[in-house]
Amino acid sequence: MTNLSDHRCVACEGVDLFEFYQLTHLPADTGSLASTKQEAVESLSGELRLAFCRTCGFVHNVAFNPDLVRYSLGYDASLCHSPGLAIAMNDSVHALVNDHQLEGRSILEIGCGQAHLLRSICQHASVKAVGIDPTTLEAELQIGTSQLRLIRSSLQESHRELIGDLIICVSVIEDIAEPLSFLQMLRSMIGDRKTSLHFELFDGFGAIDAGSVWSPHYEQCNYFSESTICHLFRRAGFNIVRSGRVPSCSSYLYVDAEPSEPQLPGVVDLKEQILAAERFESETRKQIHHWSSQLHQFSSDHKRVFLWGSGGKAISFLSLVPGSDSIEAVVDVNPNRQGLYIPKSGHLVISPEELRSERPDVIIISNPAYQSEIELELLRQGIECLVVAA
């Protein structure tokens, strides 16, 4: 544990931080895979230095350099190809339409990707929707009685005219280098309008507390808890209408907010959170040793091992565990990632259908949240092998 005197908290601007976890040469991209193995091996890497703020409890990577992450065409971190998350998104759409009474309203989604969420909303309510994202394809679409406009850009102050009745932002604020400045800019852009906000984000500190050691990856620079995300919104000039866990996806948090005046939170008791941060590094070392030994044993037994999942957790696993080069390939249900290569490790991503002809002995699941649906897919493919969750 190292006290930091030359950094400030990007959530509360406090200066009482300590560093509790460090990784070097971590792949910078999780959403952009490489078209060749050589390109993958030579891809950019960055440093991860997680720091805990003793003032507000926020955790972020003080070594994060946003210039290393490529948000461009071809970027695809969408989870909608997961059957479970497709159901969860459908539930979220119904909740958004009903809770925010979206019929006849105008919506802006920040970081819309390929607009899977907006397209679904347009099918369930008559809305005027705009999605903005540096990785999207520009388009103007008519979906039923709804209008959808997609703009390829990051959010700028010049986009203030796009703000309407509701702003949606899902799995974006975790990756923004200056989250307080971002929300303050958004508050300024809203001005006197009665715009509502709905944000969803990964429970990053919950993962740290639970010892989910493959969760930290370079692209995700912020690790929020419900408390720290609510403090951030209040400090930026928003009132919290409601917050909690996303009902259909317990590893994600949500915040519904409305414009207000900036509020400074009071003193927070952070003893338990500090202990969780302090034990994370030792838990990581333990898991790395366990999986390195396990892979060595599989290799000695001439087992054909595959890793399921090509997202942040999988990339962290492949980067951190010695012996991961013995893994044959990575499996993913997202067709836009199949046939591409994992950054730094150079593993090829294949489809579940291709896995069938590979006759695997062992499948390691990089994210245990998907274990039940993966086992169902293996059954559908007629694949019998050992399945273990990392």
Comparing 87-96, 135-144, 214-223, 332-341, the range with the smallest average pLDDT is 87-96
* Mean of per-residue pLDDT scores for the chain: 94
CA distances from 127 to 80, 103, 107, 189 (A): 22, 6, 7, 21
pTM for the model: 0.94
- The predicted model gives 109-126 an average pLDDT of 95
| Domain locations along the chain | 271-389
Buried b (16+ CB within 10 A) or exposed e, 127-143: bbbbbbbebbeeeeeeb
Mean pLDDT of 132-151: 96
Work out the average pLDDT over 210-236: 96
Given a cut of 80, is residue 323 above it in pLDDT? yes
Looking at residue 1, its pLDDT comes to: 63
CA distances from 309 to 99, 164, 312, 355 (A): 33, 37, 9, 13
**At the topology level of CATH, where does 271-389 sit?**
Rossmann fold (3.40.50)
